Chains A and B, each alone.
Chain A
Amino acid sequence: MNRRDFMRGAFRGAGLIGLSGVLAGVIRRANAAGSVWQIDPWKCTACGRCATECVLEQSAAKCVHSFDMCGYCQLCTGYFEPQPNKLNTAAENQLCPTGAIKRQFIEDPYYEYTIDEPLCVGCSKCVKGCTMFGNGSLHLQIRHDRCVNCNECSIARACPADAIHRVPAAQPYLFKSREGHVG
C-alpha cells in the first residue's frame, strides 16, 4: 500500500465516521411513521392563497363540509353572494366561482350543501362566507389523493396564518367538528 492509498483510506474512514455522526444526530429525531401536510382549519383565515400557491395545476387543498356543524340555513353565506337576487341555485347568486357547491332541499326550512370535489379549486370564498357569518362548517383540507407531499409545501410557505404543518400520516386530516379538532 502506498502513501496515497493509505491517506485515501484514512479519509474514507473519517468520512464514514462523519456520516455515522450525522446519522446519530438525526436518528433520535427520526419519524418512522411518516408525516403529511395539513391545514389547521381553526387557524385558516381563508385568504385564498391555497388556490394559487400549490405546485399542482389545481391545488391539493379543497373544501370539505362538516355536516354536524352546519346549520342547514336557507340563506347560506357560504353558498350565496352577499346580496343575492333570489335564494335559488341560479349561477348569478352563487359565491362559488366554479359552482362546486350543490344545494339540496331536505325539509322545511333546511337545505343541505355538498361539495362537488372535482369542481372545487380551493379558493376558500365559501369558507370565508361561512366562517364570517355562519357556523364555520365549510373549511379547507389538503386532499391526500392529490397532494404530492413536497419536501417543503409551497402553500405552507405562503400561508399568512402559519396554518399548514406536517401531521402524522396515521391521522392525515384535521376536520372541523362541533367539539373541536378531530383526526
Chain B
Amino acid sequence: MIVVAAQRFPPPEFSETGHQLPGFLAPAVRALFFERLDVAVLAVALALAAWLALRQRSRRGLVWLGIFSVLYFGFWRKGCICSIGSIQNIALALSDSAYAIPVTVIAFGLLPLIVALFFGRVFCAAVCPHGALQDLVLLKPVTVPPWLEHGLRMLAYVYLGLAVIFAATGGGFIICQYDPFVPIFRLSGNTAMVVTGVVFLVAGIFIGRPYCRFLCPYGVLLGLAARVSKWRVRVTPTTCTQCRLCEQSCPFNALNPATLAGPVRTAAATKRRLTWLLALLPVLVATGVWLGGVSGTALARNNRLVNVAERIQLENTGAVTGTTDAATVFRATGTPPEELFTVARQLQHRNIRAGRWAGLWVGLVIGLKLLALTVRRQRPDYEADQTRCVACARCYRYCPEELKRLGLPVPE
C-alpha cells in the first residue's frame, strides 16, 4: 500500500550549501543463527539433563546444568522464548490461520515433551530456567500437607485450560503476562510483575518450586507425558529395602510411599466411594461447561475489538462521557459501528464456546483427580511419582543402596 504523506511544508533543496540528508540508524535484528543456536543449546541441555538425572544420578551435575540454564535461557536470553509460553503460540497457530509461528517456538514447545515421553520431566530438573532458578533458591523446604498439595496442584490444570483458550481466541498470552520470573531475568518490568517475581522467589526458599508445582501449565503437559515415560527416576538403584530413609527426602511431595505405609480403607468402602464419584463426574463436567459458558462474555472483554465495541456502544447511548484513545481511533476510520458490533458479537460467541471447552476441561480434571485419589494402587516400593517428579536427584543419596553403589559409607 502506498500512502502519500502529508507535505504541509515542502522539503528544502539546499541549493546554497548542498547539505546531504543524514541516513537512518537501523540497528540490526538478532541474527537468525542465534535463534537456531538456542534450539541446539536446548537439545543438548535436554540430553545432558536426561543423562545426569537417570544415568549418572548426579545431583551436583544437575545443579551445574541448572546454573547454566538460569544464566543462558534466563539472564542472557531474558527468559523468552520459553517452552511454557510456547503452548500459547501453538494454540494460536492451530486456531488462527493468519498467525505465522516461528520455527524456534515450535521446537521449544515440542522437544521437551518428546523427551518427557522417554525420560520423564528432566526438562524441569535443570533445563527450564524457571524451574532451575526455583530449585537453586530452595534452602529451607517445608512440607505442604497432602490435601493442600492436591488442591493447589489443580490450579495448574485450570491455568493451562485458561491459557489455551485465551491464546486461541486472541485474548492475549496470559502465561507471559503473569510470568513471575521473566522480570527477574530482565531485571525490569512493571511494579506488579516485579513484586510477583520477588514473592515467588522468597516463597521458593521455603516452598519447593511453588510455580512448577501449583501453576506451571507446561508442567501439566510434561507430567502427562512423563506418566508413560520409558525410563524414569527410581530412588533406589537396585531394590527397595523399605528402610524409609528416603521418606522425607523429596521437598516437592513427589515421592509415593510403599502401600504398606498408607491408610487402610476396606474394599467395600472404596467401591462405594468410586460409584459416587463416577456418578459425580458428569455433574462436574456439566457444571464446568455451564460456568465456562457464563464466563465467556467476561472472557471476551480481553479482546481489543470487543472492548472497543462496548465502549462505542456506551458512548453512543450516552452512558459514559468522554472517550478513549481506542474509540477515537475507531471513529477516525469511518467504519459504521454496526460492522464493529457484528464482529464483536461473533467474537463473543467464539469466547463463550471456548469458555465451555475450558469448563469441560476443568470439570473433567477435578472429577478424574477425585477418582485417582480413591483408587489405591499396590506399590511394593518407595518410588517417585512420575507425574510430579521433576528429576532433581535429591532423593538418590538418601538411599543406602545408592551409597553402597557409590562406595560411600552407609550411616547406621
Chain A positions near chain B (C-beta within 8 angstroms): 8-9, 11-12, 15-16, 19, 22-23, 25-27, 29-36, 42, 45, 47, 55-57, 64, 66-73, 106-108, 110, 112, 114, 117, 133-137, 143-146, 148-152, 154, 157, 160-162, 166, 169, 172-173, 175-181
Contacts and interface: CB of A to CB of B under 8 A. Distances in A.
Interface in B161-188: 172-173, 176-177, 182-183, 186-188
Nearest to A163: B329
B243 interface: no
B325 A161 contact: yes
- Interface size range of chain B in the complex: 35 or more
Contacts of B324: 160
A170 to B, nearest CB: 8
Interface in B1-34: 1-12, 14, 16-17, 19, 21-22, 24-30, 32
Given A15-B225, A30-B103, A136-B5, A107 B17 contact: yes
A174 to B, nearest CB: 11
Of all A-B residue pairs in the complex, the 5 with the closest CB atoms, nearest first, are: A71-B9, A145-B27, A160-B325, A31-B100, A160-B326
A117 B7 CA distance: 25
A69 B8 CA distance: 10
Nearest to B104: A34
Given A47-B325, A106-B17, A181-B3, 18 more contacts: A9-B228, A12-B117, A23-B106, A23-B110, A34-B29, A34-B104, A35-B102, A42-B3, A66-B24, A71-B7, A110-B12, A110-B14, A135-B11, A143-B27, A149-B30, A149-B80, A152-B172, A181-B2
Contacts of A117: 25
Contact of A73 (B9, B22, B24, B182): B9
Given A71-B10, A135-B7, A107 B16 contact: yes
Contact of B1 (A22, A143, A181): A181
Interface in B87-120: 88-90, 93-94, 97, 99-106, 110, 113-114, 117-118
Contact of A173 (B26, B81, B99, B328): B26
A26 B329 contact: no
